[in-house]
Amino acid sequence: MARKYSTYEAKARFSEILRSVRAGQRVIVTYHGREVAEIRPLERTGDSFERRLERLEAEGTIVPSTAPVAKFGPLARRPGALGRFLNSRD
């Protein structure tokens, strides 16, 4: 069973609530006796990044970009610019 806190209590005991949630418990926050929020541990899916992207696209949560991908060339005119910069910082 989830513990219940009023909004006022939840604000005053937020660290305690987070400890409970980290331990796997659910917490309900009430406002004038009505349940208004639930704080619970995140569900870990174990999906790979690519699988999560596919799922978010299928749900319509994200939309793949149709913009062309820019190809960047070297930013420095002379090779070794990073090395020179790092050496100048010593």
Spell out the residues 6+ positions from residue 52 whose beta carbon is closer than 8 angstroms to its own.
45
Domain spans in the chain, listed from the N-terminal domain onward: 1-61
Query: Is this prediction's pTM over 0.85?
Result: no
Task: Convert the pLDDT of each residue in 2-52 to its tens digit.
Answer: 899 999 999 999 999 999 999 999 999 999 999 999 999 988 778 888 888
The pLDDT of 54-68, averaged and rounded, is 90
Amino acid 83: pLDDT: 85
Position of tokens 């987070």? 18
- Spatial CA neighbour of 19 closest among 45, 41, 49, 43: 41
CATH 3.90.1170.20 fits 1-61, yes or no: no
Q: 20: how many CB neighbours lie within 10 A of its CB?
A: 18
The DSSP call for residue 4 is E
